[in-house]
Amino acid sequence: MTENNYPPGWDAERVGKVLAHYERQTDDEAVAEDESAFADHPETVMSVPVDLVPAVRALIAKSTETQG
């Protein structure tokens, strides 16, 4: 038998409740939950070609300097 290792404060019952929550969700509920997690954050994630990363970093640094 294998030993289950849970993070502090977690046990099999808690994991089961979380799994049950997500298994009961409709697709629309799951999308709404995902969207609400980002609703209050004025940020985005995007794919940037590797060769443009230095330029993007420089723009972010310049923007941060002028705002701070």
CA angle, 36 as apex, 31 and 37 as ends, to 5°?
100
Please list, in sequence order, all residues whose beta carbon lies within 8 angstroms of the beta carbon of residue 25, skipping any fewer than 6 positions away. 33
**pLDDT tens digits, 4-15:** 799 999 999 999
- For the chain, the domain total comes to 1
Residue 46 lies in a domain: yes
Q: Is residue 26 part of a domain?
A: yes
Residues of the chain with pLDDT under 50: none
CB 26 within 8 Å of CB 34? no
Question: For 1-68, where are the alpha helices, taking DSSP H only?
Answer: 12-24, 27-38, 53-67
Cα 44 to Cα 27: distance, rounded to the nearest angstrom: 22
Inside any domain, residue 43 = yes
Q: Which domain holds residue 45?
A: 12-67
The answer to whether the pTM exceeds 0.75 is no
* Beta carbons of 56 and 48 less than 8 angstroms apart: yes
Domain assignment present for residue 7? The answer is no
